[in-house]
Amino acid sequence: MESHLGETLAVWWVLPFVGILLSIALFPLFAPRFWHHHFPKVSLFWALALAVPFVWFFRDAALHEIAHIFLVDYIPFIILLWALYTVSSGILVTGTLDGSPRQNTLIIASGTLLASLIGTTGASMVLVRPLLRAISWRRHKAHIVVFFIFLVSNIGGSLTPLGDPPLFLGFLHHVPFFWTLNLAPAMLFMAVPLLAMFYIVDSRYHRREGGAPERASAVMGIRGWQNFLCLGGIVGAVLMSGVWKLGSVHVLGVEMKVEGLLRDALLIVLGITSLKMTAPAIHKDNQFSWFPIKEVAILFAGIFMTIIPALAILKAGTHGALKPLVELADQPASYFWLTGGLSSFLDNAPTYLTFFNTAIGALAPGLPEPEAVQRLIHMHGHYLHAISCGAVFMGANTYIGNAPNFMVKSIAEEAGVQMPSFFGYMIKYSIPFLIPLFLLATFIFFR
């Protein structure tokens, strides 16, 4: 059904997808007040702009594709993000941090390692507030938050499906849980130079600002430590769903894996458990709010709805309306840059899924997805390596490249940090610091 649909759809069916992504990029820049109050309506508008004609023209096939992407991709994706956000917000790091370059580098390095264990969202939410408290006295703060976004909110999440949303979507589509450990050399290649560059840049700013002001000393500690048990439970639930096969059931005509349903139920229970056992004072001190995850859920609902035609067309390979794009992505390097370039502006989770399907359409056309993914891994693994690195790494290029990016930006601005604009972030930070490393990585890993 899906292959036939992808061969039938014209390229203009992708316009609502382009529309919502341009809205996410441009409205916050040119109409921030309107966007803050009306982004749910914008998301709904683009979702309906696709859904109404899609169902009208394709009836049962369209309804099946809508049910499939929401049941198999969107709902598990949001449940995982919600669980990580909820549980990590119940962990409060206390004590005195001085905001020095050495200490800031250690915090960001720790978050980079932590991101693959509890997700870029979890690691970002655990560490961003302690970091902001530590640098509250600093005059120059934006660069610290930006490098935090580079490493903790993006690149650090390379090593497990828990780390970054694109890799979790790959896991949902039959990529083995531990396959992502193959990304470790590329991750280290990016992380080590970025940490060194951050230390140099932060040291220069620190010298201009003079010494840290006198502050009352307090022993470092952690409150809400029991939430680490919940985080361990999240890791266990996701791992279980990848190795324990319990059969399948059909929901609204969509085949659902029982182990996936069990995983999602466990994640919800763990999130509720965290809320129940976390003292209100911890959430208050962490300035906990539901707004960041609410914003992500609403925008991603529109994104996942409108991406359906693009995925179907790309999965049709050279038989679909996006044949030129499929033919352009003919080498690992081109997959790295196409996936990464679009991930910079289109959010890296759906972009990963798009080029994941492009690779399947080009390299394993006509095969059922489980067989196609196994063929991709065993015969063309360097392509999946390039797609994964492109999506995870280049999600750091803009605020909209990955869900935690604008969560961190929002929290930093609430704390009084004057963050750069959408294009200022790119011109001052991502282009000079990230792009040269991406060019080097192309020659080392993706030729």
> What would the DSSP string read from start to end of 95-160?
S-----HHHHHHHHHHHHHHHHHHHHHHHHHHHHHHHHHHTTT-S--HHHHHHHHHHTTTGGGGSS
Q: For the purposes of burial, counting CB atoms within 10 Å of the CB of 228, is it exposed (0-12), middle (13-18) or buried (19 or more)?
A: middle
- Name the residue range of residue 95's domain: 2-211+219-445
> What would the DSSP string read from start to end of 174-234?
T--GGGGGGGHHHHHHHHHHHHHHHHHHHHHHHHHH-SPPP------EEE-TTHHHHHHHH
Q: Look at the chain and report how many structural domains it folds into.
A: 1
Rounded CA-CA distance 320/373 in Å is 20
The amino acid at residue 20 is I
- The CA-atom distances, in angstroms, between 395 and each of 70, 154, 367, 403 are 23, 6, 30, 9
Q: For the purposes of burial, counting CB atoms within 10 Å of the CB of 151, is it exposed (0-12), middle (13-18) or buried (19 or more)?
A: buried
Going residue by residue through the chain, which has 447 residues, state the pLDDT in tens, using 9 for 90 and above: 445 788 899 999 999 988 998 888 788 778 888 988 999 999 999 999 999 999 999 999 999 999 999 998 899 989 988 998 899 889 888 776 788 999 999 999 999 999 998 889 889 988 998 899 889 889 999 999 999 999 999 999 999 988 888 898 898 888 988 899 999 999 999 999 999 999 999 999 999 887 666 554 456 678 898 999 998 898 889 888 877 888 999 999 999 999 999 999 999 999 999 999 999 999 988 878 888 788 889 988 998 899 899 888 877 777 888 788 777 777 999 999 999 988 887 668 777 887 898 888 788 877 888 888 999 899 888 999 999 999 999 999 988 788 789 788 888 987 889 998 878 899 999 999 999 999 999 999 998
Rounded CA-CA distance 101/99 in Å is 7
Please list, in sequence order, all residues whose beta carbon lies within 8 angstroms of the beta carbon of residue 433, skipping any fewer than 6 positions away.
150, 194, 197
Q: Are 353 and 166 in contact (CB under 8 A)?
A: yes
- Element at 281 (helix H, strand E): helix 280-285
Sign of the C-alpha dihedral computed for residues 111, 115, 117 and 123 taken in this order: positive
Rounded CA-CA distance 412/99 in Å is 15
Tokens encoding 73: 């991709």
Q: For the purposes of burial, counting CB atoms within 10 Å of the CB of 200, is it exposed (0-12), middle (13-18) or buried (19 or more)?
A: exposed
416: left (phi > 0), else alpha (psi -120 to 50), else beta? Answer: left
User: φ and ψ at 223, to 5 degrees?
Assistant: -110, 150
